[in-house]
Amino acid sequence: MTDSWSDKQKKLVFNTVAIGLSPADQALFEAVCLSSGLDPLRKEVYAVVRGGKMSIQTGIDGYLKLANQTKELNGMEVLFFDENGSESEVWVKKTPPAACLVRVYRKGAAYPFTASCRFEAYSQNNNMWRKFPETMLAKATTTLALRRGFADVISGIASSDELSQAGLAAPELLTQGTPEERPLAPTITAPKPGTPSKRPPIAKKVPAAAAAKASEPNIDAAAESLAKSTGGTVVNASINEKPKTPGRDDLQAVAEECGLTASAIEGILGLIRNDFASGIATIQQKSVDEIAALNKRFAPASASLENW
């Protein structure tokens, strides 16, 4: 493990996925990422600022990575229960389960680490909980069980499932471990003949500062309380600066981090036509095999790639 990020890595992280942090927060975030092995460029960990406070967060994927890195995670058991207490490994009913129990097994431990959550206590009024109630409940329960079983490596990193109870979670983390869904195309109804067309009403714009203030009541108190109860890190943060637009150097740093060769990077730069933000996002979504394929396709003297 390196002692610090390179200047290029720092510029990339703090201009793309961790914007608006004070120098002290940047140093803290870097130290936690290095000690935990979580990579912010691969969206495994986030620095989230709410109400002048920073919390370092990860999702279920990050917790599983931390546990697996110890080489001591020896399996998990997930059970769902109905209102009568009958258990099931697979939930097939149309109604949500009443509760979930997760056992995490760690090598060397005499007993499993157990956590249980009731649906009534943990469910939230949002689309993810309505569409995937058993998955969301299992995620929340697994998070608690992993925290209990691997507190020595998870301490100091808050869970998005816990922080979401107060609206403090990074939105990108809340969908980890859930089925991907594609947005439906809007339905367009043709007007009847002779009917004058009507313009859709223009939404009234609310100043960003006022909207943020209205949507975050008592945000400082919530952040402090959650940090104490979950082991999350909460420190003072400076006022967010205006996000900087990623450039060529940022894309090159991401590409090198993901294993792309110099010739592949040059080829991609020629394709994206200075749309560096989209280029960075596309590269980060590539698998190891897709990165290898790009290196091969963009090798010197090979044909150009039309659709990468």
Q: Is residue 184 part of a domain?
A: no
Q: Is residue 93 part of a domain?
A: yes
48 and 160, same domain (yes or no): yes
19 and 33, same domain (yes or no): yes
SS3 of the chain = CCCCCCHHHHHHHHHHCCCCCCHHHHHHHHHHHHHHCCCHHHCCCEEEEECCEEEEEECHHHHHHHHHHCCCEEEEEEEEECCCCCEECCCCCCCCCCEEEEEEEECCCCCCEEEEEEHHHHCCCCHHHHHCHHHHHHHHHHHHHHHHHCHHHHCECEEHHHHHHHCCCCHHHHCCCCCCCCCCCCCCCCCCCCCCCCCCCCCCCCCHHHHHHHHCCCHHHHHHHHHHHHCECEEECCCCCCCCCCCHHHHHHHHHHHCCCHHHHHHHHHHHCCCHHHHHHHHHHCCHHHHHHHHHHCCCCCCCCCCC
Read off the pLDDT band of 151 (50, 70, 90). Answer: very high
Residue-number span of the structural domain to which 52 is assigned:
7-65+155-178+217-236
Q: What is the pTM assigned to this prediction?
A: 0.53
252 and 105, same domain (yes or no): no
Read off the pLDDT band of 190 (50, 70, 90). Answer: low
Please state the domain count of the chain: 3
Q: Is residue 212 part of a domain?
A: no
Q: Is residue 306 part of a domain?
A: no
Q: Is the pLDDT of residue 165 over 80?
A: no
Q: Is residue 22 part of a domain?
A: yes
Q: Is residue 269 part of a domain?
A: yes
8-47: pLDDT as tens digits: 999 999 998 888 899 999 999 999 999 889 999 988 898 8
231 and 98, same domain (yes or no): no
Q: Is residue 27 part of a domain?
A: yes
